[in-house]
Amino acid sequence: MRIARPKPKTDVCCMNAPIKIAIAEDNAMLLNRISKDVDGFSEFKVKHQAESGNKLLEMLANDSLIDLVLMDIEMANGNGIETTETIKNLYPQIKVLMLTVLDDSTAIFKAIRAGANGYLLKDEPAENLKAAILDIMAGGASMTPSIANKAMKLLRNAPIEEPVSEAESFALSERETSILEQLCKGRNYKEIANNLVISPGTVRKHIENVYRKLHVHNKAEAIRLAYKSGLV
């Protein structure tokens, strides 16, 4: 009996169909040069050329079968960062490679936050651009070395947020926590009022707030969650 052998996986860059590229660049001469550079490689095909972010979005609305966008940052009528964010929301499968003269930390940070998959300076040779596109399409995140260095510094200097414990996330006041502790000890409203020297009505109001903050509906649920979350 013949056993069917699984077909070998085909890498993105080795597929017959070229990688479909869109370019957003407001400088006509640069747009033409970048387009020629990209089309000069058999692995790529330029489908859209736009002079602004808004124009690119119009083109994608009519034909979104694009694999990767080469995106300028400083453009009138829809800058590159805003356009990248919109593309990532509407067409998350499309990769975006920022292609710009800006290498300042603010631009890098905003581009990464917007969802950019890579960041190259416009003076990179065509071969480097090709390598970056193939790297991104293979799942990488390509950057000009000087940009990568700045990105690493941004990460090193970023403030570390301490994780908030589950108990802290409920934001119970000190009084509410005290009342919850009393409930866990099996005290009734009157006993809690006597122990904390407050009225039963005040106890009832605090317990209502505790239930609301814990998203529970009765004492049993509140006690169970209190022990599970380390509230008491």
pLDDT of residue 166: 58
**166-229 to CATH, choices 1.10.10.10, 3.40.50.300, 1.20.1440.230, 3.40.50.12780:** 1.10.10.10
Residues of the chain with CATH 3.40.50.2300: 17-156
What does the block give as tokens for 230?
């380390």
The alpha carbon dihedral of 118, 123, 129, 132 has a sign of negative
Measured between alpha carbons, how far is 56 from 18 in angstroms, rounded to an integer?
Answer: 20
Measured between alpha carbons, how far is 49 from 57 in angstroms, rounded to an integer?
Answer: 11
pLDDT in tens, the chain (232 residues): 444 444 444 444 444 789 999 999 999 999 999 999 999 999 999 999 999 999 999 999 999 999 999 999 988 888 999 999 999 999 999 999 998 887 677 788 888 888 999 998 888 899 999 999 999 999 888 887 777 777 666 666 655 555 555 556 788 888 999 999 999 999 998 999 999 999 989 999 999 999 988 888 888 888 888 888 888 7
CATH code 1.20.120.1200 for 17-156: no
Cβ–Cβ < 8 Å for 99, 71? yes
